[in-house]
């Protein structure tokens, strides 16, 4: 109950001061947004553990008094195939700190291909997104998450997305499949908010919320909260800080 209250209070207090450009991820769930074609975005993300509670199952188990947080530094480039009406991006991330499982595999990649909403000229056509994240070939501990999503922007309500994922069970612990769902919306040229859900009894299972502020069309700073739903695999809940800059 305490962590549910913390999740609700964090989001409620920050929602009024909620980014211009929609992120490539809502919080944990990928979005149908991509880096603009032929641009590069640099991003740094830090996840801070909020208690000493440790994972008792799966690959996140470690002997320390408290699992350290994780800091990820990455770059992502955008691309387009105009005659197919497709947009996409590909990037690489370096895990600068974290549990032993991350220390043994600091490099991961992510990519996605998007058929944008309404690209086929139909007013009802959702965006279709397929991709992978936390991918690395021949690495024992990479989650190698493949996913698919359908997304649609509703008037007033904002963007809703739903889909699913499949990952490497040895890296995730617990189950290897789950559902993905999210909501997000920009409130104006600076404020953005999003909430998402990663289903599955594994280290990624969570309900997450974030708010962000765009200082300009190229830079933004966001904060969020990750309420883990299978803490026997994930350990303690985490507080998220994410900054990005578009070159």
With cut-offs at 50, 70 and 90, classify the pLDDT of residue 55.
confident
* pTM score, whole prediction: 0.85
Q: Mean pLDDT over all residues of the chain?
A: 84
Q: Show Cβ contacts of residue 2 under 8 Å, excluding neighbours closer than 6 positions.
A: none
Residue 238: predicted pLDDT = 92
Q: Is the dihedral of CA 87, 200, 70, 225 positive or negative?
A: positive
Q: How far apart are CA 129 and CA 41, in angstroms?
A: 19
Confidence of residue 68 (pLDDT cuts 50, 70, 90): low
> Which range (32-46, 93-107, 199-213) has the least confidence?
93-107
Is 70 exceeded by the pLDDT of residue 242?
A: yes
- Mean pLDDT of the region 87-104: 74
What is the average per-residue pLDDT within 221-235? Answer: 92
Q: Among residues of the chain, what percentage have pLDDT more than 90?
A: 58
> How many domains is the chain partitioned into structurally?
1
Indicate if the pLDDT at residue 40 is higher than 80. yes
Spatial distance between the Cα atoms of 103 and 59, rounded to a whole number of angstroms: 12
What dihedral angle (degrees, nearest 10) is formed by the CA atoms of 241, 221, 93, 25?
Answer: 90
Instruction: Convert the pLDDT of each residue in 107-127 to its tens digit.
Output: 889 999 999 999 998 889 999
Spatial contact of 111 and 89, defined as CB atoms under 8 Å apart: yes
What's the pLDDT at 64? Answer: 58
Q: Residue 234 maps to which CATH number?
A: 2.40.160.40
Q: pLDDT tier at 33 (50, 70, 90 boundaries)?
A: very high
Tell me what pLDDT residue 86 has: 96
- In terms of residue numbers, what domain contains 210? 2-246
- Looking at the predicted structure, is the pLDDT value of residue 77 above 90? yes
DSSP character at residue 230? -
pLDDT for residue 14: 39
């Amino acid at each position: 109950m305490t962590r549910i209250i913390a999740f609700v209070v964090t989001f409620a207090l920050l929602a009024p001061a909620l980014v211009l450009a929609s992120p490539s991820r809502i919080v944990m769930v990928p979005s149908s947004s991509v880096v603009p074609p032929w641009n590069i975005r640099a991003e740094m993300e830090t996840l801070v553990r909020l208690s000493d509670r440790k994972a008792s199952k799966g690959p996140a188990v470690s002997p320390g008094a408290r699992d350290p947080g994780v800091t990820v530094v990455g770059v992502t480039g955008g691309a387009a195939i105009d005659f197919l009406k497709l947009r996409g991006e590909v990037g690489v991330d370096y895990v600068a700190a974290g549990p032993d499982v991350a220390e043994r595999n600091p490099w991961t990649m992510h990519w996605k291909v998007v058929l944008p909403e309404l690209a086929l000229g139909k007013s009802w056509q959702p965006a279709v997104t397929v991709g992978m994240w936390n991918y690395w070939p021949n690495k024992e501990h990479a989650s190698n998450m493949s996913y698919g999503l359908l997304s649609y922007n509703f008037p007033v309500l904002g963007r809703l997305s739903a889909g699913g994922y499949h990952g490497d069970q040895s890296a995730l612990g617990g189950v290897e499949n789950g559902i993905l769902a999210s909501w997000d919306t920009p409130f104006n040229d600076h404020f953005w908010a999003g909430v998402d859900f990663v289903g599955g009894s594994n280290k990624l299972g969570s309900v997450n919320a974030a708010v962000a502020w765009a200082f300009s069309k190229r830079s933004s700073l966001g904060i969020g909260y990750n309420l883990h739903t299978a803490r026997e695999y994930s350990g303690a809940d985490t507080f998220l800080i994410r900054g990005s800059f578009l070159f």
